[in-house]
Amino acid sequence: MKILVCVSKTPDTTSKIAFKDGNTKFDEAGVQWIINPYDEWYSLVRAIELKEKDAATVIHLVTVGGADTEPVIRKALALGGDEAIRVNAEGGDSFFIASQIAEIAKQGGYDLILAGKETIDFNGASIGGMVAELLDVPYVALATKFELNGTTAVVTREIEGGEEVAEVALPVVVSCQKGVAEQRIPNMRGIMAARTKPLKVVEPVGADNLTQVVSYELPPAKAGVKLVAADNVDELVRLLHEEAKVI
């Protein structure tokens, strides 16, 4: 089996967020970059678990970005990927990125494509569905469990008020979230091996950007806290009605 895992570089959650160029670009100065947690903890680790059950399984990683993404994808290789592919393109909207991943998938003939449910910077949750559409294969989103039964994938996903179990023939694209796998940490052997694992750089295929960022805005600063005495119910009601405007 051949598995393609989509990997994205995202800012660490402790990074201070700032913008530049008239609030049209994210300011990357001083930012610590990590593997998108949904890609690392769930889709990649689930792929590794599948390989542990079947040693013939091959795991390839794909990312779209410049040379600065390579330390991140090397970490993904240290976790257990066999080979990485970097599409040499800076930026791009979801459709552009999905188009690059779909082209890699077409060339590689993968049985299974796994992605995190979303990235923690843009929270778009759109790449998996776009890749599936471009490949004309089934797509199952928000998987919390994933099993293989021969050439059939059994995917459990959350729905409102419960769970849904889907059975779908390979090839398939699946986006993963918490529950699919447990977090792993690269060991020293994996880190050393990652240095020599193949990392192939390819040029992007032609694809349009269908959207563009007009501007970014930081959320408004939090207001101060007003304390009201426990026996002053009238004042509490007044504040909720006139200032908070929630009643």
DSSP assignment of 28-91? -TTPPEEE-HIIIIIIIHHHHHHHHH-TT-EEEEEEES-GGGHHHHHHHHHHT-SEEEEE----
223 is a domain residue: no
- Enumerate residues 6+ apart whose C-beta is below 8 A from 116: 6, 8, 36, 37, 38, 39, 40, 42, 43, 175, 176, 177
Strands (E), 65-196: 83-87, 112-116, 139-149, 152-159, 162-169, 172-176
To which residue do tokens 């059994």 refer?
Answer: 154
Collapsing DSSP states into helix, strand and coil, what is residue 110? coil
241 is a domain residue: no
Return left, alpha or beta for 156; rule: phi > 0 is left, psi -120 to 50 is alpha, else beta: beta
Which domain, by its residues, includes 207? 2-217
Can you give the pLDDT of all 247 residues of the chain as single tens digits?
999 999 999 999 888 888 999 998 889 888 999 999 999 999 999 999 999 999 999 999 999 999 999 999 999 999 999 999 999 998 789 999 999 999 999 999 999 999 999 999 889 999 999 999 999 999 999 999 999 999 999 999 988 889 999 999 999 999 999 999 988 888 888 999 998 999 999 999 999 999 988 999 888 887 778 899 999 999 999 999 998 888 8
Report how far residue 115's alpha carbon sits from residue 6's, in angstroms, rounded to the nearest whole number: 5
233 is a domain residue: no
31 is a domain residue: yes
Predicted pLDDT of residue 102: 98
Return left, alpha or beta for 46; rule: phi > 0 is left, psi -120 to 50 is alpha, else beta: alpha
242 is a domain residue: no
Other Cβ atoms within 10 Å of 156 Cβ, number = 17
88 is a domain residue: yes
Predicted pLDDT of residue 30: 87
Collapsing DSSP states into helix, strand and coil, what is residue 232? coil
Number of folded domains that form the chain: 1
195 is a domain residue: yes
Predicted pLDDT of residue 218: 85
Predicted pLDDT of residue 198: 94
104 is a domain residue: yes
Predicted pLDDT of residue 172: 98
Q: What is the CATH number of the domain that holds 49?
A: 3.40.50.620
Paired with 139 in beta bridges are: 173
Q: Which two tokens stand for residue 215?
A: 């501007």
